[in-house]
Homo-oligomer: A and B are copies of this chain.
Amino acid sequence: MIKVMIAGFTGAMGQKAIRLVQNTKNLQMVAGFAPSAKNPDPKKYGLNSNVKIFHRLDDVKTDANIWIDFTLPSAVYDDTKFAIQHHICPVIGTSGMSADQMKSLQKLSEKEHVGGVIAPNFGLSAVLLMKFAQMAAKYFPDVEIIEMHHGDKADAPSGTALNTAQLIDKVRPRHEQGAKHPIENLKGVRGGDYHGIRIHSVRLPGYIAHEQVLFGGPGEALTIRQDSFDRGSFMKGVKIASLKVTKLDHVVVGLENLL
């Protein structure tokens, strides 16, 4: 039985994590942590009476094996550090850490021999899309990416699309793609250029979060597409991570490293 503490258990994602743990054999919730959870009575939150409730990081005392974290960008670094120092394996779904912070936590985990996962995207369809795209690029070096998000998303490209391009760029054979003397009659129409990989960002109301990777070769095409309709989809990835993370001896970044 793997004992679980959930940081941010009162939030929307924290609540989903509670249900995940309750519905998974081999997982058992033993503690919850949230700054707003001033009442120490677990029954107030619909939890078993033996679940310990904390609202200050310094107060946390638990025999949990893993630390599932859906908190805030401002809190996640301290949370993760605390978890590693106390030999609780972090499973981090909170975004917002810098590359430096992640590296420092990885070093600490190696020293302490504590397994962990930091995943910007626990959605399994996105993780598999990236993995397959990287594999396909070895055989289909001609590739473009189209990501589609709701109209309110201000930034483009999406983090996942850029991440996909970076993964492809690492492995695809060096080559020239497209026409020798391209003519762009409307500026930007050929998309953003990441090391020769074109990325196109669509922003429309109704859409949620979707990505397609298009590969082409003489006489054929291969397309990998993922659709995220609901952030609840992250729980499948959290489950995989929770069941595997205690077997690691350091923190990895990206769920794909556990597949």
Contact = CB atoms under 8 A, between A and B. Distances in A.
Given A139-B236, A183-B154, A220 B201 contact: no
Contacts of A199: 186, 189
Nearest to A225: B223
Given A128-B136, A154-B183, A185-B156, A220 B191 contact: no
A153 interface: yes
A189 B201 contact: yes
A199 B184 CA distance: 12
B218 A232 contact: yes
Interface in A196-251: 198-208, 214-233, 235-236, 240
Given A154-B179, A154-B182, A204-B142, A219 B232 contact: yes
B228 A226 contact: no
B204 A214 contact: yes
A203 B230 contact: no
Copies in the complex: 4
Contact of A124 (B181, B220, B223, B228): B220
A205 B229 contact: no
B220 A123 contact: yes
Contacts of A182: 154-156, 203
Contacts of A227: 206, 220-223
A154 B181 contact: yes
A229 B221 CA distance: 8
Given A151-B178, A225-B222, A217 B205 contact: yes
Contacts of A226: 220-223
Nearest to A237: B139
A184 B206 contact: no
A134 B259 CA distance: 13
Contacts of A82: none
A69 interface: no
Contacts of A207: 216, 221
A76 to B, nearest CB: 22
A217 B228 CA distance: 10
A132 interface: yes
24 contacts: A125-B220, A128-B135, A139-B259, A142-B206, A144-B203, A154-B179, A154-B180, A154-B181, A177-B203, A184-B192, A186-B194, A187-B192, A189-B200, A190-B201, A191-B191, A191-B200, A204-B214, A204-B215, A204-B216, A206-B227, A218-B235, A219-B230, A219-B231, A221-B226
